[in-house]
Amino acid sequence: MGWEDELFALFDDLEDQATALYAAERDVEVADRSRAEYQQVTLAGRLMATVGSTATVSVAGVGPVAGVVERVAAGWLLVAAGDHDWVINQDAVTTVEGASVRAVPAVAWSPLTRLGLASALRRISEAGEACLLHLRDGSRHEGHLRRVGADFCELTTGEERRTVLVTFAALAAAQSRA
């Protein structure tokens, strides 16, 4: 092997080393960018990608609710669990099992997803159906939603038609009784 062949072999070796170093640096950069981008992912984004799938959502004061995630919106989600629908305050969610590995960014959501928890509770109120309100402290109130304010709902309970005001901050979930 002549000196020219040795020189070309040296250049090939140096080029291979440079390519390997570039690939290693790129892998580190991609990993850093992935971590930086993932910090922008929200729970709602992951739940939005789970719509139509079965998941188990643990809710403060309630426990696990297993069912199909039907809808996700601003601050709440709808889970169909057997004969009951659950409107769950997202702030009361503690864990989710079975969520999609993907996420849907908020810019890709329908404008209807901007409707807040009050809108979901108003639909229950307008339907006139009985519901069970689960509070984060574990207590429950059964009755009919009468009216829904900006940050609370008004529930009429029992035969004595007692009125209970429940703040959204205390509300974990509303369960249909139909």
Residue 69, class by beta-carbon neighbours within 10 Å (0-12 exposed, 13-18 middle, 19+ buried)? buried
Q: HSE on the CB side for 138, CA within 13 Å?
A: 1
Summarised one tens digit per residue, pLDDT across range 96-123 is: 999 999 999 888 888 888 899 999 999 9
How far apart (Å, rounded) are the C-alpha atoms in residues 53 and 89? 19
Summarised one tens digit per residue, pLDDT across range 131-156 is: 999 999 999 999 999 999 999 999 99
Residues 130/177, Cβ–Cβ less than 8 Å:
yes
CA dihedral of residues 122, 128, 129, 132 (deg, nearest 10): 50
Q: Where are the domains of the chain?
A: 1-40, 43-176
| Whether the predicted pLDDT of 76 surpasses 90 | yes
Task: Return the CATH number of the domain spanning residue range 43-176.
Answer: 2.30.30.600
- No. of H helices and E strands in the chain? 3, 10
